[in-house]
Amino acid sequence: MCGIFAITSNRRNNIGETLVECAEKLTYRGYDTVGCATVYKNKIHLRKDKGKFDIVATKLRLSEMRGSKGIAQLRWATFGAPSKLNAQPHLDCDEDLCAAHNGNILNFLPLREQYTHEGHTVRSMNDGEICVHAIERYYDQLGDMVEAIQKGCNDLKGDYAFAVMHRDDDKVYAVKMGSSLFAGIGKGETCVSSDLPSILPITREILNIHDGELVILSPTTIEIRRISDGQLVERKPYTSDADIRVAQKGGYPHFMLKEIHEQVSSTRTLFSAIREPYISQFVGSLINANRVFFVACGSSYHAAVVGSYYFNELANVAVIPVIGGQFISHYGDAVRKGDVVVCVSQSGETKDVIDVVHHCRNRDVKILSIINVLGSTLTHLSDLYLPLGSGFEISVPATKTYTSQVTLFNYLAALSGQKREVLESTRAEEIITDLKTHLPALIEETISTNTIKARALAPYLSKYSHFYVLGYGITHGVALEGALKIKEVCYIVADGMYSSEFKHGPLSIVEEGYPIVFTIAPKDSEHLVNHLAEVECRGARIIITGEDHPLLRRYVKDDDFFLIPESNQYLSPILQAIPLQLMAYHLATYKNIDPDYPRNISKTLTVR
């Protein structure tokens, strides 16, 4: 995924400062390369290079760029290595146009050959450059930017959003075709961006842009037109109440630690974000479905795995959790009318999930979603969605949104069990009361109990380039998530797996002192004793997250026992991830890795 931000103003002529202030908030969308282009005295000025935003902005003095309009781009590399040449924005042949995109242009190689054959100077191996040449090709013929963009988009295949500007006018043009794009209306200036946090320093007056739309920005107006026929689209702006401070660290050294602590409040705001009648409609669709699939990627997939256990245990509903990129090949021909697919996506932009929606649309399958970012592509594509209400999650590794997803699944499963009369109403109410009232304090206690232990364990874990995180039953998804956190921010191959499987092969890795992390649900403590014994007798160093239990204490030193407070058994899987998040965070910082922006990855992947 990448991030684009573009602005045109009649009240600023040092637009570089604004580009830096706003685009910096998109760092989590890509930090392989950065570039800014401005128009000053009818000439395009372009500065770009490899590296993270703050470093490149300082090195190239981006904030000093003059002009009243500009485009910034932050890149997560797909086509073309992270280099200055492949950095965006890109110029057309004669340096009259400049454009930057997010997404991927699937037919970029054949178009590159065609345009080069037609005499274009295509300088890079980055698919984004093709956008500016596609527009230039028609602009040179037609002399009209709107028509040129309409025709240029017809040539481009793939999912993308781009911004483009000409050096001779005060306009910026932008297109949404499968990747996220929002517009903002300020005083004497208008802007577009891949994400809201970068618009809020300019304005809270937001315009949602839908796929297939072209946005024409002038300093005082925004026009939306359908790309297919140029038809004007009337749409009212809304005032965003998003809290921009969420996009600041608030005194924490990293967003990741801040967002771990924010789990106390975000599990609370979840219940004010979801509303009736949508909750009942969501539950109704689930319990009346022929089959239910939870489709997601990364941390959201792990939340879906935990959710599938909740639905089995509380509602006796069999749910199939599926990795986004796997769904079409695994279930694409079998899925049909009457099935329900629940897409779980923090960003609402993950391409591997969006592709499933398009596939299921053609098979008349109902699409429900659980989403954090409102206005995202998935919010437009779903029949019904429930918002997480977690606020901006800036750190690339998901923490608070994962925990809110698991909490929501617990809640929906209890409601479903109650509705299906397989869960005693009083028991369902107990579970729901625990979620809405006791969970925040239990999260706070879990964080405070385990922070020092997590920091103390880091030196030992840092000696290993690989180890295992084992879960059983409802904590299987927790083990997968804990392992992913460690992979993402510590560059260690932490393998999350089902603990009963460990003896069927992986056990061979164990030698004296080898670390094995177990995440154990209260009701499984006795069952796990033999899994603990198998590795302990071979010299492993056992680390446990779970509620206190005398049987477990026989296998683990106090410093390695990451205790979670006693609670009803269904809150435990929510709490279990927190010590693992803290372990990953403190191990990363011990290894001098920035946990917010780990190398090579990005917050949302809008490419398949």
Residues that bind ligand BG6 (CB under 6 A): 297-300, 345-347, 350, 353, 396-398, 601-605
Q: Which is nearer to ligand BG6, 76 or 468 (CB)?
A: 76
Q: Catalytic site residue 2?
A: yes
Question: Among residues 214 and 398, whose Cβ is nearest to ligand BG6?
Answer: 398
* Nearest-approach distance from CB 305 to ligand BG6, in angstroms: 13
Angle formed by the axes of helices 351-361 and 324-331, to 10°?
A: 30
86 to each of 26, 66, 129, how far by Cα in Å?
19, 23, 8
| Residues 215, 164 contacting (CB under 8 angstroms) | no
Distance of closest approach, residue 268 Cβ to ligand BG6, in angstroms: 21
Per the structure block, which two tokens stand in for 396? 């690339």
- 277/80 Cα distance (integer angstroms): 47
- The active-site residue, picked from 176, 258, 453, 603, is 603
Output the CA torsion sign for 311, 313, 319, 325. Answer: positive
Residue 71 or 297: which CB sits closer to ligand BG6?
297
Q: How far is the CB of 539 from ligand BG6 (least distance, A)?
A: 34
CA-based torsion, 92, 97, 100, 106: positive or negative: negative
Which are the contacts of 95, defined by CB distance < 8 A and separation ≥ 6? 43, 44, 167
* Nearest distance from C-beta of residue 355 to ligand BG6, angstroms: 12
Omega into 550 within 30° of 0, i.e. cis?
no
Nearest to 97 by CA among 50, 152, 178: 152
Whose Cβ is closer to ligand BG6: residue 347's or residue 407's?
347
H-assigned helices in 392-494: 400-419, 425-433, 439-461, 476-490
We find the least distance from the C-beta atom of residue 389 to ligand BG6, in angstroms, to be 15
C-beta closer to ligand BG6: residue 557 or 599: 599
Shortest Å, Cβ 253 to ligand BG6 = 20
How far apart, in whole angstroms, are the C-alpha atoms of residue 248 and residue 526?
44
For ligand BG6, the closer CB: 29 or 586:
29
Which residue among 2, 22, 153, 490 is the active-site one? 2
Cα separation of 404 and 209, whole Å? 27
Closest residue to bound ligand BG6 by CB:
298
User: Tokens for 1?
Assistant: 């995924």
Catalytic annotation on 537?
no
* Closest distance to ligand BG6 from the beta carbon of 487 (Å): 10
Residues 6+ apart with CB under 8 A from 498: 470, 471, 472, 476, 479
Q: What whole-number distance in Å separates Cα of residue 72 and Cα of residue 36?
A: 4
Choice between 153 and 341, CB closer to ligand BG6:
341
Tell me if 179 sits within 8 A of 194, measured CB to CB: yes
Of 486, 507, 505, 504, nearest to 496 (Cα)?
A: 486
Catalytic residues: 2, 603
